Structure 1
Amino acid sequence: MYKAMNKRKLKGNAKEAFSSLKKRKIVEEIRSGMLTIQQATKQYQVSVSLLQDWNRWYYQTRLLKYYRPKPSFLMKPSQTTVEQLKQELAEAQAQLAQLKLQNTALETMIKVAEQQYKIEIRKKYGSKRSRS
C-alpha cells in the first residue's frame, strides 16, 4: 500500500514549479475543454486540488471583474432619473384622480337609474341565477 501511495505522489513542489502564466494557460485549456481535469493532472503532474486552487485563482483575478456587476445602490441616482420618476409619479396620481372621478360618476348614474326606473342594476353576489 505504501508503494501505491508513492506512485501517486507528485514529483517536486508544483506550486513553485509553475509560473502564473503557465497556471493561467493550464486553467484556460481546462475551461475551454481542450483538456479534462484528469488529462491535465497526468500531463502536468499536478493534483486535482491544486488545479481547483488555480481555477479559483483564475476566477478571482481574471474573470470576476467581468461577471460581477457594480452595485447600483452605491451609485448616486442621476438628476434626470429623479426628475423622470417625479414626473411619472405626478402622471400616475393624475390618472388615479381621473379614474376616481369616473368611478364616482358611474356609481351615481347607477343609483339614479335604480331610483328612476325602480329596478336593481347591481348584481347580488349571494343570490343564485334563475333557470328559465
Structure 2
Amino acid sequence: MKNGKETMLSDHMEGFQEKPINYNDYEVSFRRWLVSQIDAEKMSFQQARDRFDLGSQYRRIVRNWQERYSDDIHLSLQAMSGKERTDVKALEKRIKELEKQLELAKMKNVGLNTMIDIAEQDYKLEIRKKSGPKQ
C-alpha cells in the first residue's frame, strides 16, 4: 500500500494453509450415520465439523451426503426407560403364559373331538349337528 504494491494477506499465510481432505475416504456407513445424526438434530453441522475435523467445505459435503443418504422417512426411536423395560418383560412373561394356555386348549379340543368321533363310530350316536337345512 505504501510503495504502490498491494500485498494480499493470503500471500503471507503459507504456514496456515488448510490441508486438503479427501471426503471419499469416509466410509459409507459413517456418512449415513452422520447424516442421520444431523437429520435427527442430535448433532449440528458445526459439532460434526469440530468432532470429525471435516475442514472448511464441510457444509457443502454434508449437504451432498444428505441428498444421497437421507431417508425420506425419519424414524427415531427413543431409548426405553427402566419402567418400560420391566413392562416389556412382564408382557413377554404374559405372552408365554397365554401361549401355554392356548396349547393346552388346542390339546383339549383335539381330545374332545377324538372322543366324539369314537362315540359316533362305536355307539352309532349322532352327537355333532349336521350343517345345512337338513337338521
Using structure 2 for the length normalisation, give the TM-score.
Answer: 0.38
Which one has the bigger helix percentage?
Answer: 1
**Higher RCO (C-alpha under 8 Å, 6+ residues apart):** 2
